[in-house]
Structure 1
Amino acid sequence: MEPTKDSNYIQQHLANERTYLAWIRTALAIIGTVHYERKRTQINEQTFKPAVHLVWLISGLMVVMVILFFLYFYLY
């Protein structure tokens, strides 16, 4: 069976979906690891306070990344 124009589109779409899911999986793994480490070490508020702005910055960037991927893959 010869590849058609539709099969090329389908292959591209599936590749994009795998990439999107890989990014989501990576983001969830990072979030889970940070959550686990925070619970495991029982960091108190005095120790954690200097890094709170970095946590919010990284979390915000991850949310923006997920929104951009969602917009890219579902609107185009």
Structure 2
Amino acid sequence: MEALSKKKEVPGESVIYAQQHLANERTYLAWVRTAVSIVGVGFLTTSLHFTIKLSFNQHINTLAIFLGIFACIVGFITGILSTLQYSKKRREIQEGIFIPSNHSIVFVSTLISFLIFIIFMYLSFLLLSKS
């Protein structure tokens, strides 16, 4: 009876299975580092703006604050989506299926692109106000 309930394991299958889980964990950790970096960029930009007093223009100050807050939001969303993707991939590995993730990658890429655009606008306004 016990022999029937045990899964028959092919030699090397457990190694591949472990490699898939380890790769999933490495991908998750890379996304977490990305989320922390995004938040760091927001904090750095905002804190440098007000510490060095780069501008006294109210519009640029507001943009710097918005940039910091938006970077924190993007970092938070990236962290949440990476955790959801990690859990989903873990389940898929255990079930032996593969479904590529597209929506979350496109969504995070769009948010990061918008963040880069805001950084570009901030730097442009800052440079134009200096001249």
TM-score by length of 2: 0.44
User: Which residue in the other structure is 2:28 paired with?
Assistant: 20
User: Which residue in the other structure is 2:49 paired with?
Assistant: 41
Give the greater-gyration-radius structure (CA): 2
Pair 61,40 (structure 1): closer, same or farther in 2 beyond 3 Å: closer
User: Which residue in the other structure is 1:70 paired with?
Assistant: 83
Pair 24,45 (structure 1): closer, same or farther in 2 beyond 3 Å: farther
Partner deviation per Cα, 1:51-72 (whole Å, 9 max, x = no partner): 73x7655544443332232123
Aligned-pair identity (%): 36
Q: 1:43-62 alignment to 2 at 5 Å?
A: 46=58, 47-50=60-63, 52=66, 59-62=72-75
Cα RMSD over matched residues?
2.7
CA distance in 2 between partners of 1:23 and 1:45 (Å): 35
Q: Which amino acid aligns with 1:30?
A: I
TM-score by length of 1: 0.67
Structure 2: unaligned runs, 5 residues or longer: 1-10, 92-131
Structure 1: unaligned runs, 5 residues or longer: none
